[in-house]
Structure 1
């Protein structure tokens, strides 16, 4: 069944049983509500048991990203007739749903990344003289980092990466959570929160330009971002690592691996 506004409190309670597994749908619902316009507007499709309780759920954004929370197994029938472009979820739920839906278009990205969780009281911040500023206070050369980030992490082609990177940078300037690590007057790395709830935040957008890699900047910018969140009363942070080097960096500052997370995005949407 398709959820309505009246179902939202129950949906949030259901997802909050394991918020680190459902940061994207929870954040979308908190920020945009259900059925809103725009790419992050989200609809939810539910399974209820005989007692009327939600047992499984698939959230679907307007841009076609499916986000399952289906502990009893994949529920492809919930999305029948919808257009899907991607699946974003813990791997143990994402991959079965991808297979059940028969999603077989060429992909921009199809990765299972190590998934981590951190008690923010245990964050380990590397020593250093570098400091962070909001991206709006950083030199404008930081704008040049976004297209390569889009290519390396999200699999965008160079042309799309240029435009999407430009738009993301402009949005980041007025956003709350993009920070840049500064070595003196030189920007050397950046990080962001791509989902924020009261007790838990999700890290995204961690990027170090090639010229500055191998110096521990990703560790420090991520740790300082977690310190900021902790100082605001947040209790936990979660993220997924794009490669083994990133995974080691996150473990060094206290993150513990809890599983894998799948980023699956097709070049063209598919009706299921």
Structure 2
């Protein structure tokens, strides 16, 4: 058997990496989105056996690791990341745990450690709830509300400090507006929910950024927002959708519009970036 190699990826590797990641699409939407949108601007590594790509590891600009390597020897990674600062790990739970251990970061203090259930949907099976009196618009219809809601979501679901969230939310929403993949849901003249896509390939989208203010919850707004943006995306040729749910209420909303359980996803975020020892 050819020994496995771990090396930096080059632009020449991009087509093969995309083919590999597509075989694990539901758990690879973030790296696929980055590769399709920016090439290898995200720092990328690969596992290789002979000429065959057997795994991927991305290191984002905000210092998060994104593994997709089901049979990896993670001990090969540490020399490449020695003295690098790592803010977190995002991806398949077993891989994130094994990589965290291989990097000597088991005891690093955590801001967030969640394993969230993932769901998938063939858009041919999308079920629209009643939407009379509702509409969706780009974020530009009320950018201030979108920023305020995103800041609240960062505190509630991602563990950010309240004093840090507004600036982070401002930058994120500005990027969302430029990408054009998020929408506000309105009931009459009142915005009631927010939803969008945080990753996209040629035929698949990943739902992200869903938020409904506490006073407007349990009224079906999140499922309306998600189903309406998916119906809109379906008209552009999108065939599938994936997501992961932060809580049971969110999971119930997604099941109600046709999503089915399919995978799980880990978010391991450190309180501050951790330096990998040599």
Which ranges in structure 1 are unaligned for 5 or more consecutive residues? 37-41
Distance 1:244 1:225 in 2: 22
The 1:214–1:60 alpha-carbon spacing in structure 2 relative to 1, beyond 3 Å, is same
> Which residue of 1 is the match for residue 150 of structure 2?
146
Q: Report if the CA contact (8 A) 2:47-2:72 is conserved.
A: no
SS at match of 2:237: coil
Distance 1:72 1:174 in 2: 37
Runs of 4 or more off by more than 6 Å in structure 1? none
The 1:184–1:249 alpha-carbon spacing in structure 2 relative to 1, beyond 3 Å, is same
Aligned 1:189-268 pairs, distance under 5 A: 189-268=193-272
Cα RMSD over matched residues?
1.5
> Which residue of 2 is the match for residue 125 of structure 1?
128
Distance 1:33 1:79 in 2: 24
SS at match of 1:158: coil
Structure 1, residues 72-103: CA drift from partner, whole Å, max 9, x if none? 14514224313321111022322222223222
SS at match of 1:47: strand
Query: What is the count of residue pairs matched by the alignment?
Result: 265
Which ranges in structure 2 are unaligned for 5 or more consecutive residues? 1-6
SS at match of 1:151: helix
**C-alpha displacement of 1:212:** 0.5
> Which residue of 2 is the match for residue 60 of structure 1?
59
Q: Report if the CA contact (8 A) 1:58-1:66 is conserved.
A: yes
> Which residue of 1 is the match for residue 43 of structure 2?
43
**C-alpha displacement of 1:139:** 6.7
> Which residue of 1 is the match for residue 3 of structure 2?
none
Distance 1:118 1:23 in 2: 14
Q: TM-score, normalised by structure 1?
A: 0.92
Task: Report the more deviating stretch, 151-160 or 178-187.
Answer: 151-160
Distance 2:66 2:43 in 1: 10
Q: Report if the CA contact (8 A) 1:46-1:78 is conserved.
A: no
Structure 1, residues 129-186: CA drift from partner, whole Å, max 9, x if none? 2111111123743332121111112211011102111222333333311101101000
> Which residue of 2 is the match for residue 17 of structure 1?
23
Matched, 1:32 2:31: no
Distance 1:141 1:221 in 2: 15
- 1:110 pairs with one of 105, 110, 113: 113
> Which residue of 2 is the match for residue 172 of structure 1?
176
Q: TM-score, normalised by structure 2?
A: 0.90
> Which residue of 2 is the match for residue 100 of structure 1?
102
